[in-house]
Amino acid sequence: MLLFVNGTIHTMDPLNPHPEALLAHNGRILDLGSLRHIQEKHPGATLVDMKGKTLLPGFNDSHLHLLGIGMRLNQIDLSSVESIEALKEKLLRHQGDGDILVGYGWNQEHFKEGRMPSSHDLDATGILKPIIIHRTCVHMLVANTLAMEKAGVFEPSGLFKESGMNPLKDLVPPPDEKALAGYILSAAKVLLSHGVTSVQSDDLFMVDTSLHQLVFDVYETLERENRLPLRVYEQTNFKQYEDYLKNIPDYRQDRTSDRRFKRGPVKILGDGSLGGRTARLKEPYSDDTGTRGLLNFSPEAVRHLFQLCDEHQLDVAVHAIGDEMLQIALEALEPLKHAACRHSIIHCQVTDTETLAALDRLKPVLHIQPGFLNGDIHMAPSRLGPKRLRTAYNYKTLENLDLVIAFGTDAPVESTNPFLGIYHAVTRKDLKGFPQDGWLPGQTLSLYDAIKHYTVDGAYASYDENKKGALKAGYYADFILVDRDPFTVAKDDLKDLRVLETFVGGQSVYPLD
Ligand SMILES: [Zn+2]
């Protein structure tokens, strides 16, 4: 029995917001209240001195790619590169001895050349192995000539988008059981260091379809061996239309068990990204009137998949960034009958009057990534133009519709640190403090609500609202100790908060000594 004392406790439970002490036992929270009261009832409890620090519920990242985070630890990080020349130098310096060179995170918005890299740039490095480099959005990549030759595909620019990327991604040797476990555990370590104790993860997006069952098996083996240190709710992405049709009838969503790895909703990747101009818009992009983005599935196919999931009482989680994709998703949602389902929209970045009315009517759960503000503050105005911008990234408007808004990061697209997202949501600024008065400042959220979206609402999305998200008696003992109280620091300092210790099921899992 551990009795946490001598710190500030924020439970996110409005009925008991700041108890003096918290008692954890057998993986659960046993009691919260005054120290004297708890000690009288449980005289043998071991005291844990919080030394004036702050205790919060563990964060729940409502949409990320856990395997992708682990894989990236073995690839070249190009996210801080500010020119194509610097990108080439970085590839040369980190060639390693693998058969293929994989980089990620580049963003032409940061390049002084102001353009995307090409196969010619990669060829010019003189590196004699296949190279593929993923854009930060992971919806497009650039390959060198050698990679295209090996994959049997060709584009003069070397640029590939969405499913066109698959032959090139297939050049990377598939991970075996041991590699998959390694990716999961190394990603978990990063997440726990940021106080993330639960994730909702689309892992299958990251691997070939033939490995889907193996990914589930590896998670279940890790759990059986007591080696899975955080809770994972899988957003199961079957990727190909035929595979959805084949797999949905036998797929069982786990809404009730206390397992750490649980099968969650069926994930559908509806459109692409705004940065890559592949998110599907109703009107052309303001900075490229030749395109409205793309759809990965026809509206009829989306409707059919929604119906099929509904027949089998499965939730759908659909990636929708552009306003047209959002509309298609909401129209597919409209006729579904099972009121018990918690269908969700991932991203929901660009709305309009019509989709806002449908969101209000249908009340899907939203998975929102406030960390996107850091880059999109600079990119979205030119992509969308002033009119559409007024109803984009409109977190406060969505909150006012009484929707459950579960925050996350889409990592490895963005950093897994929840305090960055919380900072963006309550300041509407990028990490450099731009713009000074906040971007679309009417959409600023309160700190309490931002933390609630990262804890309580994420738990609701996975049917765990009576088990986690807040600190209450009977809930999982998933909580974090933070160096400063977020409710007393200046808003601009929220991004610098540090997690000192992370507990999952009452066990200290970060830092490990
Ligand atoms: Zn994603």
**pLDDT one digit per residue (tens) for the chain, 513 residues:** 999 999 999 999 999 999 999 999 999 999 999 999 999 999 999 999 999 999 999 999 999 999 999 998 889 999 999 999 999 999 999 987 788 999 999 999 899 999 999 999 999 999 999 999 999 888 899 999 999 999 999 999 999 998 899 999 989 888 999 999 999 999 999 999 999 999 999 999 988 899 999 999 999 999 999 999 999 999 999 999 999 999 999 999 999 999 999 999 999 999 999 998 999 999 999 999 999 999 999 999 999 999 999 999 999 999 999 999 999 999 999 999 777 899 999 999 999 999 999 999 999 999 999 999 999 999 999 999 999 999 999 999 999 999 999 999 999 878 899 999 999 999 999 999 999 999 999 999 999 999 999 999 999 999 999 999 999 999 999 999 999 999 999 999 999 999 999 999 999 999 987
Give domain status of residue 151, yes or no: yes
| Domain end point (choices 129, 151, 169) | 169
C-alpha of residue 130 to centroid of ligand 1, in Å: 26
| Domain end point (choices 139, 169, 199) | 169
C-alpha of residue 120 to centroid of ligand 1, in Å: 29
pLDDT of residue 208: 86
Task: Answer yes or no: do 19 and 151 share one domain.
Answer: no
Task: Answer yes or no: do 165 and 276 share one domain.
Answer: no
Task: Answer yes or no: do 71 and 131 share one domain.
Answer: yes
pLDDT of residue 349: 98
C-alpha of residue 107 to centroid of ligand 1, in Å: 17
C-alpha of residue 271 to centroid of ligand 1, in Å: 11
C-alpha of residue 202 to centroid of ligand 1, in Å: 7
Give domain status of residue 271, yes or no: yes
Sheet with 131-135: list strands edge to edge.
76-77, 101-106, 131-135, 140-143, 159-161
C-alpha of residue 42 to centroid of ligand 1, in Å: 45
User: Within 13 A of 114's CA, how many CA atoms are on the CB side?
Assistant: 0
C-alpha of residue 76 to centroid of ligand 1, in Å: 20
C-alpha of residue 201 to centroid of ligand 1, in Å: 8
Give domain status of residue 58, yes or no: no
**For 321-417, where are the alpha helices, taking DSSP H only?**
323-333, 353-362, 373-389, 395-400
Task: Answer yes or no: do 313 and 398 share one domain.
Answer: yes
Question: What is the extent of the structural domain holding 94?
Answer: 67-169
Task: Answer yes or no: do 359 and 408 share one domain.
Answer: yes
Are the beta carbons of 389 and 377 closer than 8 angstroms?
A: no
C-alpha of residue 379 to centroid of ligand 1, in Å: 19
C-alpha 442 chain-centroid distance: 25
C-alpha of residue 410 to centroid of ligand 1, in Å: 5
How crowded is residue 6: how many other Cβ atoms within 10 Å of its Cβ? 14
Q: How many domains does the chain have?
A: 3
**Ion ligand 1 — residues with CB < 5 Å:** 410
Task: Answer yes or no: do 413 and 289 share one domain.
Answer: yes
Q: What is the CATH number of the domain that holds 328?
A: 3.20.20.140
Give domain status of residue 224, yes or no: no
Question: Coil, helix or strand for 21?
Answer: strand
C-alpha of residue 122 to centroid of ligand 1, in Å: 27
C-alpha of residue 306 to centroid of ligand 1, in Å: 19
pLDDT of residue 415: 87
C-alpha of residue 63 to centroid of ligand 1, in Å: 6
Task: Answer yes or no: do 408 and 273 share one domain.
Answer: yes
How crowded is residue 80: how many other Cβ atoms within 10 Å of its Cβ? 11
Q: What is the CATH number of the domain that holds 484?
A: 2.30.40.10
Which of 94, 99, 64 has the alpha carbon at shortest distance from 81?
94
Task: Answer yes or no: do 34 and 138 share one domain.
Answer: no
C-alpha of residue 269 to centroid of ligand 1, in Å: 8
Task: Answer yes or no: do 410 and 478 share one domain.
Answer: no
Task: Answer yes or no: do 305 and 409 share one domain.
Answer: yes
C-alpha of residue 460 to centroid of ligand 1, in Å: 19
